[in-house]
Amino acid sequence: GAVVSQHPSRVICKSGTSVKIECRSLDFQATTMFWYRQFPKQSLMLMATSNEGSKATYEQGVEKDKFLINHASLTLSTLTVTSAHPEDSSFYICSARPTGGRTSYEQYFGPGTRLTVT
Amino acid sequence: GESVGLHLPTLSVQEGDNSIINCAYSNSASDYFIWYKQESGKGPQFIIDIRSNMDKRQGQRVTVLLNKTVKHLSLQIAATQPGDSAVYFCADRSWGSNYKLTFGKGTLLTVNP
Protein backbone atom coordinates (compact mmCIF):
# COMPACT_ATOMS: atom_id res chain seq x y z
CA GLY A 1 0.00 0.00 0.00
CA ALA A 2 0.82 3.73 0.09
CA VAL A 3 1.96 4.01 -3.51
CA VAL A 4 2.53 7.35 -5.21
CA SER A 5 2.91 7.56 -8.97
CA GLN A 6 4.14 10.32 -11.23
CA HIS A 7 3.51 10.87 -14.88
CA PRO A 8 5.41 11.22 -17.07
CA SER A 9 8.58 9.63 -15.77
CA ARG A 10 10.61 11.51 -18.37
CA VAL A 11 9.78 14.47 -20.56
CA ILE A 12 11.74 16.53 -23.04
CA CYS A 13 10.32 19.85 -24.13
CA LYS A 14 11.41 22.87 -26.10
CA SER A 15 12.29 26.11 -24.42
CA GLY A 16 9.25 28.35 -24.02
CA THR A 17 6.69 25.57 -23.82
CA SER A 18 4.79 24.37 -20.76
CA VAL A 19 4.92 20.93 -19.20
CA LYS A 20 2.47 19.33 -16.79
CA ILE A 21 3.55 16.69 -14.28
CA GLU A 22 1.00 14.59 -12.42
CA CYS A 23 1.32 13.14 -8.94
CA ARG A 24 -1.20 10.53 -7.85
CA SER A 25 -1.76 8.68 -4.63
CA LEU A 26 -2.95 5.28 -5.82
CA ASP A 27 -4.36 3.63 -2.74
CA PHE A 28 -4.92 6.42 -0.28
CA GLN A 29 -6.26 9.94 -0.11
CA ALA A 30 -3.90 12.82 0.37
CA THR A 31 -5.05 16.21 1.52
CA THR A 32 -1.49 17.43 1.35
CA MET A 33 1.13 16.79 -1.28
CA PHE A 34 4.59 18.25 -1.64
CA TRP A 35 6.66 19.10 -4.71
CA TYR A 36 10.43 18.93 -4.65
CA ARG A 37 13.12 19.70 -7.17
CA GLN A 38 16.45 17.92 -7.26
CA PHE A 39 19.42 18.94 -9.37
CA PRO A 40 22.17 16.41 -10.19
CA LYS A 41 24.22 15.34 -7.17
CA GLN A 42 22.21 17.63 -4.93
CA SER A 43 19.56 17.23 -2.29
CA LEU A 44 15.81 17.57 -2.55
CA MET A 45 14.60 21.13 -2.25
CA LEU A 46 10.99 21.72 -1.31
CA MET A 47 9.25 23.91 -3.86
CA ALA A 48 5.70 24.04 -2.57
CA THR A 49 3.03 22.44 -0.44
CA SER A 50 -0.11 21.49 -2.32
CA ASN A 51 -3.37 21.42 -0.38
CA GLU A 52 -6.54 19.92 -1.80
CA GLY A 53 -9.14 22.57 -2.47
CA SER A 54 -6.94 25.52 -1.65
CA LYS A 55 -3.99 27.44 -3.01
CA ALA A 56 -0.53 25.98 -2.81
CA THR A 57 2.03 27.40 -0.44
CA TYR A 58 5.31 28.17 -2.14
CA GLU A 59 8.74 28.21 -0.57
CA GLN A 60 10.80 31.35 -0.64
CA GLY A 61 12.36 31.96 -4.04
CA VAL A 62 9.96 29.72 -5.98
CA GLU A 63 7.91 31.62 -8.57
CA LYS A 64 4.27 30.69 -8.18
CA ASP A 65 3.40 32.00 -11.65
CA LYS A 66 6.04 29.81 -13.22
CA PHE A 67 5.32 26.64 -11.26
CA LEU A 68 1.55 26.27 -11.22
CA ILE A 69 0.16 23.75 -8.77
CA ASN A 70 -3.35 22.36 -8.84
CA HIS A 71 -4.58 19.91 -6.20
CA ALA A 72 -8.03 19.26 -7.62
CA SER A 73 -8.81 16.01 -5.84
CA LEU A 74 -7.67 13.99 -2.86
CA THR A 75 -5.58 11.74 -5.10
CA LEU A 76 -4.12 14.09 -7.69
CA SER A 77 -1.85 17.10 -7.69
CA THR A 78 -0.33 18.59 -10.83
CA LEU A 79 2.71 20.77 -11.32
CA THR A 80 2.88 22.81 -14.52
CA VAL A 81 6.19 24.35 -15.47
CA THR A 82 5.26 27.31 -17.63
CA SER A 83 7.51 28.85 -20.27
CA ALA A 84 10.17 26.31 -19.47
CA HIS A 85 13.83 27.19 -19.91
CA PRO A 86 16.94 24.98 -19.86
CA GLU A 87 17.65 25.99 -16.26
CA ASP A 88 14.34 24.35 -15.29
CA SER A 89 15.75 20.99 -16.32
CA SER A 90 15.72 18.92 -13.18
CA PHE A 91 14.28 15.91 -11.39
CA TYR A 92 10.88 16.76 -9.93
CA ILE A 93 9.62 14.59 -7.09
CA CYS A 94 6.30 14.67 -5.30
CA SER A 95 5.26 13.22 -1.99
CA ALA A 96 1.87 12.68 -0.45
CA ARG A 97 0.70 12.73 3.14
CA PRO A 98 -2.25 10.43 3.85
CA THR A 99 -5.39 12.08 5.10
CA GLY A 100 -6.00 10.90 8.64
CA GLY A 101 -2.78 8.88 8.59
CA ARG A 102 -1.64 6.66 11.43
CA THR A 103 0.70 9.37 12.55
CA SER A 104 1.23 12.93 11.49
CA TYR A 105 4.64 12.00 10.11
CA GLU A 106 3.79 9.74 7.20
CA GLN A 107 4.81 10.98 3.77
CA TYR A 108 5.22 8.80 0.69
CA PHE A 109 7.35 9.73 -2.30
CA GLY A 110 6.75 9.29 -5.98
CA PRO A 111 9.38 7.93 -8.39
CA GLY A 112 10.18 11.34 -9.84
CA THR A 113 9.92 13.01 -13.24
CA ARG A 114 13.01 13.89 -15.23
CA LEU A 115 12.43 17.14 -17.13
CA THR A 116 14.83 18.19 -19.86
CA VAL A 117 14.30 21.52 -21.57
CA THR A 118 16.12 21.95 -24.87
CA GLY B 1 17.06 29.23 7.39
CA GLU B 2 17.77 26.13 9.34
CA SER B 3 18.99 23.09 7.44
CA VAL B 4 20.12 19.55 7.90
CA GLY B 5 23.65 18.78 6.74
CA LEU B 6 25.99 15.84 6.40
CA HIS B 7 29.61 15.41 7.37
CA LEU B 8 30.64 13.02 4.58
CA PRO B 9 29.57 13.29 0.97
CA THR B 10 30.89 9.83 0.00
CA LEU B 11 31.48 6.55 1.77
CA SER B 12 33.02 3.44 0.31
CA VAL B 13 32.86 0.14 2.19
CA GLN B 14 33.52 -3.51 1.56
CA GLU B 15 30.63 -5.92 1.30
CA GLY B 16 29.87 -7.35 4.71
CA ASP B 17 31.27 -4.39 6.63
CA ASN B 18 29.13 -2.12 8.75
CA SER B 19 28.44 1.38 7.41
CA ILE B 20 27.86 4.53 9.40
CA ILE B 21 26.42 7.62 7.77
CA ASN B 22 26.31 10.82 9.76
CA CYS B 23 24.12 13.88 9.73
CA ALA B 24 24.20 17.15 11.64
CA TYR B 25 21.11 19.26 12.03
CA SER B 26 20.80 22.80 13.22
CA ASN B 27 17.13 23.29 13.99
CA SER B 28 16.63 22.87 17.72
CA ALA B 29 12.88 22.68 17.08
CA SER B 30 13.21 19.51 15.01
CA ASP B 31 11.13 16.76 16.53
CA TYR B 32 11.20 14.03 13.91
CA PHE B 33 13.96 12.63 11.76
CA ILE B 34 13.96 10.26 8.82
CA TRP B 35 16.56 8.47 6.77
CA TYR B 36 15.88 7.92 3.09
CA LYS B 37 17.66 5.86 0.47
CA GLN B 38 17.66 7.11 -3.09
CA GLU B 39 18.84 5.01 -5.99
CA SER B 40 19.81 6.67 -9.24
CA GLY B 41 16.81 8.06 -11.12
CA LYS B 42 14.32 7.10 -8.44
CA GLY B 43 12.43 8.78 -5.64
CA PRO B 44 13.48 8.57 -1.98
CA GLN B 45 12.69 5.35 -0.19
CA PHE B 46 11.92 5.40 3.53
CA ILE B 47 14.42 3.49 5.65
CA ILE B 48 13.82 4.35 9.28
CA ASP B 49 12.62 7.21 11.43
CA ILE B 50 13.03 8.42 14.97
CA ARG B 51 11.27 10.93 17.13
CA SER B 52 13.08 13.44 19.28
CA ASN B 53 12.03 11.69 22.49
CA MET B 54 14.13 8.67 21.53
CA ASP B 55 17.89 8.09 21.34
CA LYS B 56 17.96 4.92 19.31
CA ARG B 57 15.76 2.92 17.05
CA GLN B 58 16.47 -0.34 15.29
CA GLY B 59 15.12 -1.84 12.15
CA GLN B 60 16.16 -4.70 9.95
CA ARG B 61 19.95 -4.30 9.56
CA VAL B 62 19.63 -0.57 10.26
CA THR B 63 19.90 1.48 13.41
CA VAL B 64 19.37 5.20 13.81
CA LEU B 65 21.00 7.06 16.67
CA LEU B 66 19.98 10.53 17.75
CA ASN B 67 22.10 12.79 19.93
CA LYS B 68 20.09 15.88 20.66
CA THR B 69 22.83 17.43 22.77
CA VAL B 70 25.08 17.89 19.76
CA LYS B 71 22.30 17.78 17.17
CA HIS B 72 23.69 14.70 15.47
CA LEU B 73 21.99 11.83 13.72
CA SER B 74 23.54 8.66 12.35
CA LEU B 75 22.44 5.68 10.31
CA GLN B 76 24.17 2.39 10.85
CA ILE B 77 23.83 -0.36 8.28
CA ALA B 78 24.95 -3.79 9.38
CA ALA B 79 26.56 -6.26 6.98
CA THR B 80 26.37 -3.84 4.07
CA GLN B 81 25.40 -5.40 0.77
CA PRO B 82 25.92 -4.25 -2.84
CA GLY B 83 22.20 -3.48 -3.00
CA ASP B 84 22.73 -0.89 -0.29
CA SER B 85 24.72 1.26 -2.72
CA ALA B 86 22.76 4.50 -3.08
CA VAL B 87 22.59 8.07 -1.84
CA TYR B 88 21.33 8.37 1.71
CA PHE B 89 19.58 11.48 2.95
CA CYS B 90 18.56 12.51 6.40
CA ALA B 91 15.57 14.78 6.75
CA ASP B 92 14.00 16.54 9.65
CA ARG B 93 10.70 18.06 10.51
CA SER B 94 10.05 20.73 13.08
CA TRP B 95 6.88 20.97 15.11
CA GLY B 96 4.45 23.37 13.54
CA SER B 97 6.07 23.26 10.11
CA ASN B 98 2.97 21.84 8.44
CA TYR B 99 4.71 18.49 7.96
CA LYS B 100 7.41 19.97 5.72
CA LEU B 101 10.68 18.06 5.59
CA THR B 102 14.14 19.60 5.26
CA PHE B 103 16.63 17.32 3.55
CA GLY B 104 20.34 17.10 4.16
CA LYS B 105 22.92 17.09 1.40
CA GLY B 106 23.18 13.33 1.02
CA THR B 107 25.93 10.73 1.27
CA LEU B 108 26.81 8.44 -1.60
CA LEU B 109 27.41 4.94 -0.25
CA THR B 110 29.34 2.60 -2.50
CA VAL B 111 29.62 -1.04 -1.50
CA ASN B 112 32.52 -2.90 -3.07
CA PRO B 113 32.10 -6.65 -3.62
Chain B, nearest residue to A91 by Cα: B41
Contact of B10 with chain A, judged by CB distance below 8 Å, is answered with no
For residue B25, the chain A residues in CB contact (below 8 A) are: none
DSSP A87: G
Q: How far is CA A29 from CA A3, A25, A70, A79, B95, in A?
A: 11, 7, 15, 18, 23
pLDDT, mean over chain B? 90
The candidate with the shortest Cα–Cα distance to B40, out of A47, A60, A37, A41, is A41
Instruction: Give the H or E element holding residue A109.
Output: strand A108-109
At residue A102, the pLDDT reads 59
Residue partners of A34: CB distance under 8 A and separation at least 6: A46, A48, A49, A50, A94, A95, A96, A97, A107, B100, B101
Q: How far is CA A110 from CA A81, B70, B99, in A?
A: 18, 33, 17
Model confidence at B8, pLDDT cuts 50, 70, 90, reads: very low
Chain B, nearest residue to A6 by Cα: B43
Cβ of B99 within 8 Å of Cβ of A42? The answer is: no
Write the pLDDT tens digit of every residue in A20-37.
999 999 999 998 999 999
Model confidence at B11, pLDDT cuts 50, 70, 90, reads: very high
The candidate with the shortest Cα–Cα distance to A117, out of A46, A23, A19, A6, is A19
Q: How many residues does chain B have?
A: 113
Cβ of B103 within 8 Å of Cβ of A42? The answer is: no
Q: Could you tell me how far CA B93 lies from the centroid of its own chain?
A: 13
Write the pLDDT tens digit of every residue in A32-87.
999 999 998 899 999 999 988 889 999 999 999 999 999 989 999 999 999 999 99
* One-letter-per-residue 3-state SS of A23-82: EEECCCCEEEEEEEEECCCCCEEEEEEEECCCCCEECCCCCCCCEEEEEEECCEEEEEEC
Cβ of A112 within 8 Å of Cβ of B43? The answer is: yes
Closest Cβ opposite residue B43 in set A43, A46, A93 = A93
Contact of B103 with chain A, judged by CB distance below 8 Å, is answered with yes
For residue B32, the chain A residues in CB contact (below 8 A) are: 105
Best mutation target, B88, B100, B110, to test chain A (most A CBs within 10 A): B100
